[in-house]
Amino acid sequence: MSDKKQNIQAQPPENLTGIKLIEVPKKSVGTKAIQSALNHVFTETGVVKGIQLLKNINQLDGFDCPGCVWPDPDQKRAFLAEYCENGAKAIAEEATTNRVSPLFFATHTVQELSEWSDYEIGKSGRITHPMILREGATNYEEISMERSILYYW
């Protein structure tokens, strides 16, 4: 452990990552919303995987949107789009092809990561291996699946 005192933040910083104040649009649906949703999904997952995911959101034989609070209708569901723009963004982040390997955690300390916004962390990618932060350590390190199961149970 380093003698240098760590300043790990429990809450992510307020970092608006390019958000700008604009006049509120009169409509929240239509071509711009569809284009935005598709752009997020296709950028993160690719076109083919993105279409497969979008066609299955909130469908009887599909999966529930990870960001949705709307109740699912029992019988009738939209054929093409039973989700909103934010639902598409949530799916895009969950299904991203970006990956975070143990090298990422060896490169970035817990203190450094605590200074990142939720957006920055989410855009980094999906974790590829179980990781552990040992007492007194400054970085997460890889742990085997077998050891991680024993450690947490």
Task: Name the token pair of 152.
Answer: 């947490």
pTM > 0.75: yes or no? no
**Distance (Å, whole) CA 139 – CA 137:** 6
pLDDT computed for residue 1 by the predictor:
46
Contact 95, 44 (CB under 8 A): yes
Q: Are residues 62 and 105 in the same domain?
A: no
Whether 39 and 90 map to the same domain: the answer is yes
77 with 104, same domain: the answer is: no
136 and 119 part of one domain: yes
Question: Quick check: 47 pLDDT over 60?
Answer: yes
Q: Which domain holds residue 58?
A: 31-94
| pLDDT for residue 147 | 80
Percent of the chain clearing pLDDT 70 (strictly above): 87
Residues 89 and 120 in one domain: no
Domain assignment present for residue 17? The answer is: no
Task: Tell me: do 66 and 88 sit in the same domain.
Answer: yes
Residue 80 sits in the same domain as residue 49? yes
Q: What is the mean pLDDT of residues 80-109?
A: 89
d(CA 4, CA 7): 9
Please tell me the predicted confidence (pLDDT) of residue 153: 62
pLDDT of residue 68: 76
Q: Rounded to an integer, what is the distance from CA 153 to the centroid of its chain?
A: 26
- Same domain membership, residue 71 and residue 38: yes
Contacts of 89 (CB under 8 A, 6+ apart): 37, 40, 67
Quick one: tokens of 75? Answer: 């019988």
Indicate the number of domains in the chain.
Answer: 2
Q: What is the pLDDT of residue 66?
A: 82
123-145 as b/e, with b when 16 or more CB fall inside 10 Å? ebbeeebbbeeeeeebbbebbee
For residue 106, pLDDT beyond 90: yes
Residue type, 85: E
Q: Which tokens belong to 124? A: 């980094």
Q: Is residue 20 part of a domain?
A: no
**Predicted confidence (pLDDT) at residue 31 exceeds the cutoff of 70:** yes
Q: Are residues 51 and 85 in the same domain?
A: yes
Look at residue 95 and tell me whether its pLDDT is greater than 60: yes
Reply yes or no on whether the pLDDT at 120 is more than 80.
yes
